[in-house]
Protein backbone atom coordinates (compact mmCIF):
# COMPACT_ATOMS: atom_id res chain seq x y z
CA UNK A 1 0.00 0.00 0.00
CA UNK A 2 1.20 3.48 -0.86
CA UNK A 3 -0.33 5.37 2.03
CA UNK A 4 -0.07 9.17 2.06
CA UNK A 5 1.00 10.32 5.51
CA UNK A 6 1.78 14.01 5.13
CA UNK A 7 0.07 17.14 3.80
CA UNK A 8 3.14 17.90 1.69
CA UNK A 9 2.90 14.52 -0.04
CA UNK A 10 -0.83 14.96 -0.56
CA UNK A 11 -0.41 18.41 -2.10
CA UNK A 12 2.37 17.08 -4.34
CA UNK A 13 -0.13 14.59 -5.79
CA UNK A 14 -3.01 17.02 -6.32
CA UNK A 15 -1.32 20.36 -6.86
CA UNK A 16 -2.85 23.75 -6.17
CA UNK A 17 -6.63 24.25 -6.17
CA UNK A 18 -8.02 26.40 -8.97
CA UNK A 19 -8.62 30.02 -7.99
CA UNK A 20 -12.42 29.71 -8.19
CA UNK A 21 -12.32 26.96 -5.53
CA UNK A 22 -10.79 29.46 -3.12
CA UNK A 23 -12.73 32.55 -4.10
CA UNK A 24 -16.14 30.88 -3.67
CA UNK A 25 -15.66 30.24 0.07
CA UNK A 26 -17.07 32.80 2.49
CA UNK A 27 -17.75 32.84 6.22
CA UNK A 28 -21.26 34.16 5.69
CA UNK A 29 -24.36 33.38 3.65
CA UNK A 30 -24.37 35.49 0.50
CA UNK A 31 -27.61 36.17 -1.41
CA UNK A 32 -26.54 33.54 -3.97
CA UNK A 33 -25.94 30.94 -1.29
CA UNK A 34 -29.19 31.83 0.43
CA UNK A 35 -31.01 30.92 -2.79
CA UNK A 36 -29.61 27.38 -2.60
CA UNK A 37 -30.60 26.95 1.05
CA UNK A 38 -34.13 28.21 0.49
CA UNK A 39 -34.61 25.92 -2.53
CA UNK A 40 -33.31 22.80 -0.81
CA UNK A 41 -35.68 20.15 0.62
CA UNK A 42 -32.84 17.86 1.67
CA UNK A 43 -29.55 18.20 3.54
CA UNK A 44 -26.98 15.96 5.16
CA UNK A 45 -25.92 16.91 8.69
CA UNK A 46 -22.42 15.86 9.77
CA UNK A 47 -21.36 15.98 13.42
CA UNK A 48 -18.53 14.70 15.59
CA UNK A 49 -18.50 13.27 19.11
CA UNK A 50 -16.51 11.05 21.48
CA UNK A 51 -17.84 7.91 19.79
CA UNK A 52 -16.86 9.15 16.33
CA UNK A 53 -18.51 10.80 13.35
CA UNK A 54 -22.14 10.83 12.28
CA UNK A 55 -23.91 11.88 9.09
CA UNK A 56 -27.68 12.17 9.20
CA UNK A 57 -30.21 12.88 6.40
CA UNK A 58 -32.57 15.80 6.99
CA UNK A 59 -35.55 16.45 4.73
CA UNK A 60 -38.54 18.73 4.74
CA UNK A 61 -40.27 21.23 2.51
CA UNK A 62 -37.94 23.54 0.53
CA UNK A 63 -36.51 26.20 2.80
CA UNK A 64 -36.86 24.03 5.91
CA UNK A 65 -33.48 25.36 7.02
CA UNK A 66 -34.20 28.94 8.01
CA UNK A 67 -31.74 31.70 7.14
CA UNK A 68 -31.95 34.03 10.14
CA UNK A 69 -29.13 36.32 9.07
CA UNK A 70 -25.92 36.05 7.07
CA UNK A 71 -24.21 34.01 9.79
CA UNK A 72 -27.09 32.06 11.36
CA UNK A 73 -29.11 29.02 10.23
CA UNK A 74 -31.90 27.23 12.08
CA UNK A 75 -33.13 23.72 11.35
CA UNK A 76 -36.03 21.95 13.12
CA UNK A 77 -35.31 18.47 14.43
CA UNK A 78 -38.35 16.61 13.11
CA UNK A 79 -39.65 13.34 14.52
CA UNK A 80 -37.52 10.25 13.96
CA UNK A 81 -36.32 7.13 15.70
CA UNK A 82 -35.04 8.92 18.84
CA UNK A 83 -31.45 7.74 18.41
CA UNK A 84 -30.51 11.48 18.47
CA UNK A 85 -26.92 10.67 17.47
CA UNK A 86 -26.44 14.08 15.86
CA UNK A 87 -27.89 15.94 18.82
CA UNK A 88 -25.73 14.06 21.32
CA UNK A 89 -22.69 14.98 19.27
CA UNK A 90 -23.61 18.66 19.05
CA UNK A 91 -24.09 18.90 22.82
CA UNK A 92 -20.55 17.64 23.36
CA UNK A 93 -18.82 19.03 20.24
CA UNK A 94 -20.45 22.01 18.50
CA UNK A 95 -18.69 21.50 15.16
CA UNK A 96 -21.19 20.67 12.43
CA UNK A 97 -21.53 20.68 8.67
CA UNK A 98 -24.43 20.71 6.23
CA UNK A 99 -24.53 19.58 2.61
CA UNK A 100 -27.58 20.92 0.76
CA UNK A 101 -29.00 19.19 -2.32
CA UNK A 102 -31.55 20.69 -4.70
CA UNK A 103 -33.42 18.22 -6.95
CA UNK A 104 -32.49 18.80 -10.57
CA UNK A 105 -29.41 20.87 -9.75
CA UNK A 106 -25.94 19.43 -10.15
CA UNK A 107 -24.45 21.90 -7.70
CA UNK A 108 -24.57 21.39 -3.96
CA UNK A 109 -23.92 23.82 -1.10
CA UNK A 110 -21.58 23.10 1.80
CA UNK A 111 -21.79 24.88 5.15
CA UNK A 112 -19.41 24.38 8.06
CA UNK A 113 -19.86 25.96 11.47
CA UNK A 114 -20.78 25.45 15.10
CA UNK A 115 -24.20 24.49 16.39
CA UNK A 116 -26.27 24.41 19.57
CA UNK A 117 -29.60 22.75 20.44
CA UNK A 118 -32.36 25.21 21.38
CA UNK A 119 -35.66 24.18 23.00
CA UNK A 120 -37.25 27.60 23.43
CA UNK A 121 -41.01 27.16 23.17
CA UNK A 122 -41.57 30.15 20.91
CA UNK A 123 -38.79 29.10 18.58
CA UNK A 124 -40.06 25.54 18.34
CA UNK A 125 -43.59 26.72 17.66
CA UNK A 126 -42.34 28.91 14.81
CA UNK A 127 -41.38 25.70 13.01
CA UNK A 128 -44.67 23.88 13.67
CA UNK A 129 -46.34 22.01 10.81
CA UNK A 130 -49.97 20.91 11.12
CA UNK A 131 -49.82 21.83 14.80
CA UNK A 132 -46.74 19.72 15.49
CA UNK A 133 -43.67 21.59 16.71
CA UNK A 134 -40.22 19.97 16.72
CA UNK A 135 -38.82 19.05 20.12
CA UNK A 136 -35.71 21.10 19.42
CA UNK A 137 -34.11 23.38 16.85
CA UNK A 138 -30.50 23.20 15.68
CA UNK A 139 -29.01 26.70 15.55
CA UNK A 140 -25.83 26.95 13.51
CA UNK A 141 -23.32 29.80 13.23
CA UNK A 142 -21.54 29.62 9.89
CA UNK A 143 -17.77 29.61 9.50
CA UNK A 144 -17.42 28.48 5.88
CA UNK A 145 -19.98 28.48 3.07
CA UNK A 146 -19.30 27.47 -0.51
CA UNK A 147 -20.87 25.90 -3.56
CA UNK A 148 -19.64 22.51 -4.74
CA UNK A 149 -19.35 21.90 -8.48
CA UNK A 150 -21.59 19.39 -10.24
CA UNK A 151 -19.05 16.65 -11.02
CA UNK A 152 -20.28 14.22 -8.35
CA UNK A 153 -23.94 14.63 -9.37
CA UNK A 154 -23.06 14.32 -13.07
CA UNK A 155 -20.94 11.21 -12.52
CA UNK A 156 -23.62 9.56 -10.39
CA UNK A 157 -26.47 10.58 -12.73
CA UNK A 158 -28.37 11.09 -9.49
CA UNK A 159 -31.43 12.89 -10.80
CA UNK A 160 -32.02 10.61 -13.79
CA UNK A 161 -35.29 8.67 -13.12
CA UNK A 162 -34.16 5.98 -15.56
CA UNK A 163 -31.40 5.12 -13.09
CA UNK A 164 -33.72 4.79 -10.11
CA UNK A 165 -33.65 1.34 -8.53
CA UNK A 166 -36.84 -0.67 -8.83
CA UNK A 167 -38.79 -1.58 -5.71
CA UNK A 168 -37.79 -4.90 -4.23
CA UNK A 169 -34.14 -4.89 -5.31
CA UNK A 170 -32.75 -3.66 -1.99
CA UNK A 171 -33.45 -5.34 1.37
CA UNK A 172 -36.12 -3.54 3.38
CA UNK A 173 -35.62 -2.09 6.87
CA UNK A 174 -37.87 -4.82 8.25
CA UNK A 175 -35.78 -7.53 6.63
CA UNK A 176 -32.58 -5.98 7.97
CA UNK A 177 -33.86 -5.66 11.55
CA UNK A 178 -35.27 -9.18 11.47
CA UNK A 179 -31.93 -10.58 10.31
CA UNK A 180 -30.02 -8.70 13.02
CA UNK A 181 -32.46 -9.20 15.89
CA UNK A 182 -31.72 -11.67 18.68
CA UNK A 183 -35.41 -11.80 19.56
CA UNK A 184 -38.35 -12.74 17.32
CA UNK A 185 -39.12 -9.83 14.98
CA UNK A 186 -41.73 -9.75 12.21
CA UNK A 187 -39.95 -7.84 9.46
CA UNK A 188 -42.80 -8.20 6.98
CA UNK A 189 -45.27 -6.68 9.43
CA UNK A 190 -42.85 -3.86 10.20
CA UNK A 191 -42.52 -2.98 6.51
CA UNK A 192 -46.26 -3.35 5.90
CA UNK A 193 -47.21 -1.03 8.76
CA UNK A 194 -44.48 1.57 8.17
CA UNK A 195 -46.29 3.83 5.65
CA UNK A 196 -49.27 4.35 7.95
CA UNK A 197 -47.01 4.76 10.97
CA UNK A 198 -44.88 7.31 9.15
CA UNK A 199 -47.88 9.36 8.07
CA UNK A 200 -48.94 9.72 11.71
CA UNK A 201 -45.46 10.69 12.92
CA UNK A 202 -44.07 12.68 9.98
CA UNK A 203 -44.07 16.00 11.82
pLDDT tens readout for residues 111-130: 999 999 999 999 999 999 99
Residue 40, Cβ density class (10 Å: 0-12 exposed, 13-18 middle, ≥19 buried) = buried
| pTM of the entire predicted model | 0.94
Which residues have CB under 8 Å from 163's CB, separation 6+? 157
CA 13, 154, 165, 198 torsion-angle sign: positive
- Across the range 136-140, mean pLDDT stands at 98
pLDDT value of position 167 = 86
The C-alpha atoms of residue 151 and residue 120 are separated, in whole angstroms, by: 40
pLDDT digits (tens, 9 = 90+) for 149-199: 999 999 999 999 999 999 889 999 999 999 999 999 999 999 999 999 988
Strands 137-148 and 72-76, sheet pairing? antiparallel
Confidence of residue 31 (pLDDT cuts 50, 70, 90): very high
pLDDT value of position 200 = 87
- Across the range 27-52, mean pLDDT stands at 97
Measured in degrees and rounded to the nearest 5, phi and psi for residue 139 equal -110, 120
pLDDT value of position 10 = 95
pLDDT value of position 201 = 86
E strand spans, the chain: 42-49, 52-59, 66-69, 72-76, 95-101, 108-118, 137-148
- Across the range 92-101, mean pLDDT stands at 98
pLDDT value of position 199 = 87
Amino acid sequence: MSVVRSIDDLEAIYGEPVSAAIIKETAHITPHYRAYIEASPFALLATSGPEGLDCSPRGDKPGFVRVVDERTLMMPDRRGNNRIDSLKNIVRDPRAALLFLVPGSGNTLRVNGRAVIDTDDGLRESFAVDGHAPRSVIVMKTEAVYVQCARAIVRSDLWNPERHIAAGILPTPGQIVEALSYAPFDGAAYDRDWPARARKTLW
